[in-house]
Amino acid sequence: MIGIIEKFTTFLWDNMIAYMLIAVGILYTIRLGLPQILRLPSIFKEAFGDLFKKGEKKEGEVSSFQALATAVASQVGTGNIGGVASAIMMGGPGAVFWMWISGLLGMSTIFAEAVLAQVYREERNGEQYGGPAYYLSNGLKNKKIGKILATLFSIFIIIALGLVGNMVQSNSISLSLSNGFGIAPIITGIALAVIVGLIVLGGVQRISKIAETIVPVMAVIYILAGIVVVIKFHAQFIPVIKAIFTAAFSSKAVLGGMVGISVKTAMRLGLQRGLFSNEAGMGSTPHAHAVANVPHPVNQGFVAMAGVIIGTFFICTLTAFIILVTGAHIESANLGLETVEVTQLGFKIAFGHAGTIFLAIALAFFAFTTIIGWYYFGESNVVYLFGRKTLPIYRIVAILFVTLGTIVPVGTVWLFSDMFNALMVIPNLIGLVALSGIVVKKYDEWRNKL
């Protein structure tokens, strides 16, 4: 049974979803006229321009920056850091170039998701809710099909992120704290249950405030640490740049004799890992962007694009350079290491045991913020399916899953999480293609106001 699920999941990711995500990214890049390049000033202005202004927000709304922080909380996680390492180990340095391409394409897709989330959001008992389920059911002309797709999406994301996905994240925290500081998993589980419980009881406004506080600090510290590593190994910087561009278009061995990898493999892995790490097209981050208080949906679309810049072009790129400039990918190949262990080795080469401790702490914070982000995405869909009356039940079950994740093996859970992640992408992409005209209309409407 497990083998069948594994083959099915691999088939979905490798043969369908990766190509669908790329196609949708190209579609929006063309229809919107290269906004990720031509509208770069607007992206930074909307994301960070009003950072210190206190705008008025209705009950159940958050600021555009709080929405961005909540989205980035989910985008930057353990899978993000491990995914980059995996892409390099399996696809070589050239995978990094294709990861950048996926980031550019993903910026257009995530823009569309945020715009649609704003357009079709709903107010329920004083709280704003939005996301793919809402724009599928309210936006598609065929209401019956829209309702079916919305229901399927909601079920898939509740399982993929709100429940089993968060088991994986809490397990990462448990392992990090156990390996780094010897803290018993059950202690971590109880502490997480209490902390997560207190946060989610405060609703989206408390979740966004926590994200707004932790995510910028976490991201800046990780970025600074990465810059220090690159400076320390600056002699390797130019060779790494050359290797990335050479390996992206050639299969010859690069960087210390690393085995030559086909261009097709580098391209596939770079595009896949990049798209999965920034979550563009997956339908997760629109839930955060839907509740932002902005003058026009397009404003939040630009904010959403900044999330990809932070996740892919800053965090993922620095992770790649940490691995490549330190030579961690070569040593890891000899030791049989993969995913997060490769990044950990890079920090260890740069800073010794302190580097291992640093990454353990960073991973714990990345995973924690992912938990609260994913919890909220699940909550939005529980409300869509069953209404707010059922939220107490969802909160208890979600916290139970977080606690269980710290004390049970999660190998099989990873597999189920991957499968439901794949399944939730399909209805979302159908909606993005069907509603592309609405996104273009809103974009033109915004441009005409300039």
In a domain, 213, yes or no: yes
Please tell me the predicted confidence (pLDDT) of residue 54.
Answer: 58
In a domain, 18, yes or no: no
Which has more pLDDT, 59 or 300? 300
pLDDT > 90: what percent of the chain? 69
pLDDT of 183 over the 70 cut: yes
In a domain, 444, yes or no: no
Q: Which of 133, 191, 163 is nearest to 430 (CA)?
A: 133
Please tell me the predicted confidence (pLDDT) of residue 120.
Answer: 98
Band of the pLDDT at 339, cuts 50, 70, 90?
confident
pLDDT of 26 over the 90 cut: yes
312: left (phi over 0), alpha (psi -120 to 50) or beta: alpha
Band of the pLDDT at 175, cuts 50, 70, 90?
confident
pLDDT > 70: what percent of the chain? 95
Please tell me the predicted confidence (pLDDT) of residue 254.
Answer: 57
pLDDT of 173 over the 60 cut: yes
Which has more pLDDT, 199 or 2? 199
Band of the pLDDT at 51, cuts 50, 70, 90?
low
pLDDT of 271 over the 90 cut: no
In a domain, 31, yes or no: no
In a domain, 429, yes or no: yes
In a domain, 3, yes or no: no
Please tell me the predicted confidence (pLDDT) of residue 56.
Answer: 58
Please tell me the predicted confidence (pLDDT) of residue 136.
Answer: 98
Which has more pLDDT, 193 or 78? 193
Residues across the chain? 450
Distance, CA of 208 to CA of 273 (rounded, Å)? 27
pLDDT of 275 over the 70 cut: yes
Which has more pLDDT, 61 or 76? 76
Q: Residue 406 is part of a domain; what is its CATH number?
A: 1.20.1740.10
pLDDT of 260 over the 80 cut: no
Average pLDDT of the residues in 220-230 = 97
In a domain, 385, yes or no: yes
* Count of structural domains, the chain: 1
**pTM listed for this prediction:** 0.93
Please tell me the predicted confidence (pLDDT) of residue 55.
Answer: 56
pLDDT of 52 over the 60 cut: no
In a domain, 23, yes or no: no
Please tell me the predicted confidence (pLDDT) of residue 413.
Answer: 78
Q: What mean pLDDT is reported for the chain? A: 91
Domain that holds residue 375: 40-51+60-144+151-439
Q: Which residues are bridge partners to 122 per DSSP? A: 129
Q: Which of 32, 23, 29 is nearest to 442 (CA)?
A: 32
